Amino acid sequence: MQITIEDISPVEKRVEFELPWTEVAPRLDKAYDALRREVHLRGFRPGKAPRPVLERLYRSSVEDDVARELVEMSLGQAIKDKQIEPVAAPTVDKLEMKAGAPFKFAARIEVRSQVVPKDYSGIALSRRPPKITEEEVDKAVEAYRRQLTEFLPVEGRTVASDTDVLVVEVHGKVGEHKVKKNSVMVDLADEGGGPLPGLAQRLRGVALDGGPQEIKYRIADDEKVKDLAGKEVSLRVTIKEARVRKEPAIDDEMAKDTGEADTLAGLKDKIRDKLRETDGQRIRREMIAALVKEVVKRNPFAIAPALVDRHADAIISRAKTQLMMSGIDVEAGGGLDEAKMKKDFQGEAEEEARATVLIQAIAEREGVQVSDADVQKRIAELAAARQENAKKLRAELESNQRIHGLKMQLLEEKTLDMLLAQAKITDEDPDRMIITPNEAKGGSERLVLTPEEAKAEHLAPSAAAKPKRK
C-alpha cells in the first residue's frame, strides 16, 4: 500500500492511498463466496449461483462493502504507522475501484493541534478575600428551617397564600418551547427557584378548588438560564394539591433539631465555616479560570474545527439539560434551533477547545501523569456520593469506555493544580478602599485613596483631585 500525506493546514491533512489489485481481488472473492452461500436464486441450487450472475445482481453493494472494509483497514494502518492523531472521523473522497487497476482513495483528516506551550509558569493572579455576609448566614439558617418544616393540608380557605406549596399540572408554552408536566411541585415562597422562573409569584392567590387556570407573563431578561430569558409564557395550570407550611421558630431548639449544634449561635458559627469553605472553592475556580484564559492568550495556535464543534455540542447539551430541568420539552415543535445555538456558542466553544488542547500539551511537556491509584480514588469518591459499590462502578465505566474520559479529567485537574502552584498569587486587601454607593452599583468613583494615591495627593494636590481609577 502506498500512502502520500499532504499538510493542508496545521490541523488538517490530506492522505492519498493506493492499493494494488492483488490486495483487492482476494477480498472481492471472499465477499462473493459469502454472498453465494447466503442468497437463494431461482434456477440455482443453494450455494451454486455462478459468479457472473452474482456480479450482475449485487456488484454495486459488494464493491461498496469491500471498499468500506479497505478504507477502514487502510486508514487504521496509516493512523498507527504515521502517528496521526485524528480528532474526528476522516472524510473520504475520490474513491476508485476498477478491475485490474489499483484501488485508490483520498481522505481529509482533522488532527490535534501541535502545540509547544510557553510562558505558562509564574502567571500573576489576584486572589480576592472570602465574602461571607450575615445575609448569607441568615439564608442558610432559613434553609435549615425549611428542612424541618412540616407541610399540612390547607384547611379553611380557598385561595393560595404566599407561603403554600402546590402540586400542579402544567401545559402550555415558554416561547417556542412546549411545556408538559403532569405533576410538578411549586413552592410559592421561593422567589428565585422553582420549576419555571416567575411561576411561583403568579400562583399566589389563585383559587385552590377551581379548574384549569390561564397564566401569562414574560420571564425577566436577566434570567440565569439564558435560553429562558425574555421568553413569553402561556400556561394552563390545574391545582392538584395544596399544603400549608408549619415552620419551627428560629431558636436554640431548632438548632438542636438540625443535629449540627446545641445553640443557634453555634449553628451560625458552623454555617460561617461552611460558607467560608465554599467561597474558598469558588475563589479557586475563579483563579483557575483567569489562569487558563491567560495561558490561552499567551499561546495562539490553530484549532481543528471538528474539535470546536465537539465542544459546542457539549455546551448545547448542557443548555438542553437546564431547559429540561425547567420542565420544557426540548424536542417538541421541531426541537431547538441547534444550528443557531452552535453559532451563538462558537466563541465559548473555541476557547474551551483551545484550553483543552493546551492543558494536555502542558501535561505532556511537564510529565504529568495519572496513576491507577488516582483513578481508583476518584471512583471511590464517586461511588460514595452515589451510594454505589466502587468495583461495580469501575466495571460500568470500563464497559461504557468512559474510564478514558475520567483519566483525562484527572490529568487536566492535576495539570491545573501544578499551574496554580506555580502562579504568583497576590492577595487583595479587603480594607484597601471604601466604595461609594455608585461604585457598588457598577460605578467607579473612589471615596478613599490607596496609600500610594494619598502620597501623590500630598506631593501634587491638583493631580490628586482626580485620583486614579482602579
CATH code at 2-110: 3.30.70.1050
Residue 460 clears pLDDT 70, i.e. is over it: no
Average pLDDT over residues 317-325: 82
In the chain, the N- to C-terminal Cα span, in Å, equals 65
Check if the beta carbon of residue 196 is closer than 8 Å to that of residue 324: no
pLDDT reported for residue 333: 59
DSSP per-residue string spanning 277-308: HHHHHHHHHHHHHHHHHHHHHHS-----HHHH
Average pLDDT over residues 436-464: 43
Compute the distance between CA of residue 240 and CA of residue 216 in angstroms, rounded to an integer. 20
| Residues near 266 by beta carbon (within 8 Å), at least 6 away in sequence | 255, 260
How many helices (DSSP H) and strands (DSSP E) are in the chain? 15, 12
User: What are the start-end ranges of the E strands in 74-223?
Assistant: 91-96, 103-110, 124-127, 150-153, 165-174, 177-187, 213-218
pLDDT reported for residue 46: 84
pLDDT band of residue 324 (cuts 50, 70, 90) is confident
Residue-wise pLDDT tens digits, 20-63: 999 999 999 999 999 998 888 888 888 888 999 998 999 999 99
Residue 110 clears pLDDT 50, i.e. is over it: yes
Residue-wise pLDDT tens digits, 382-407: 999 999 999 999 999 998 888 999 99
Average pLDDT over residues 60-75: 92
Residue-wise pLDDT tens digits, 157-202: 888 888 888 888 888 888 888 886 778 888 888 876 567 888 888 8
A 10 A CB-CB count for 87 gives 20
Instruction: Output phi, psi for 438, to 5 deg.
Output: -65, -40
Average pLDDT over residues 200-221: 87
To the nearest 10 degrees (0 to 180), the angle between helices 51-81 and 21-38 is: 130
Q: Into which CATH architecture does domain 150-246 fall? A: Roll (3.10)
Q: How far is CA 102 from CA 22, 59, 82, 139, in A?
A: 8, 18, 22, 75
Q: CA triplet 420, 421, 425: central angle to 5 degrees? A: 70
Compute the distance between CA of residue 155 and CA of residue 152 in angstroms, rounded to an integer. 9
Check if the beta carbon of residue 16 is closer than 8 Å to that of residue 108: no
Work out the mean pLDDT of the chain and round it to a whole number: 85
Closest-CA residue to 102 (of 21, 187, 7, 174): 21
pLDDT reported for residue 431: 57
Residue 450 clears pLDDT 90, i.e. is over it: no
Higher pLDDT, 292 or 155: 292
Higher pLDDT, 410 or 443: 410
Q: Which three cell numbers stand for residue 329?
A: 420539552
pLDDT reported for residue 449: 42
Q: CA triplet 403, 408, 411: central angle to 5 degrees? A: 125
pLDDT reported for residue 342: 86
Q: How far is CA 139 from CA 35, 95, 417, in A?
A: 72, 66, 32
pLDDT reported for residue 193: 56
Residue 135 clears pLDDT 50, i.e. is over it: yes
Residue-wise pLDDT tens digits, 339-350: 888 888 999 999
Residue 377 clears pLDDT 90, i.e. is over it: yes
pLDDT band of residue 353 (cuts 50, 70, 90) is very high
Residue-wise pLDDT tens digits, 239-283: 888 898 888 999 999 999 999 999 999 999 999 999 999 999 999
Residue 145 clears pLDDT 50, i.e. is over it: yes
Query: What residue segments make up the domains of the chain, in order of their start?
Result: 2-110, 130-149+251-299, 150-246, 431-470
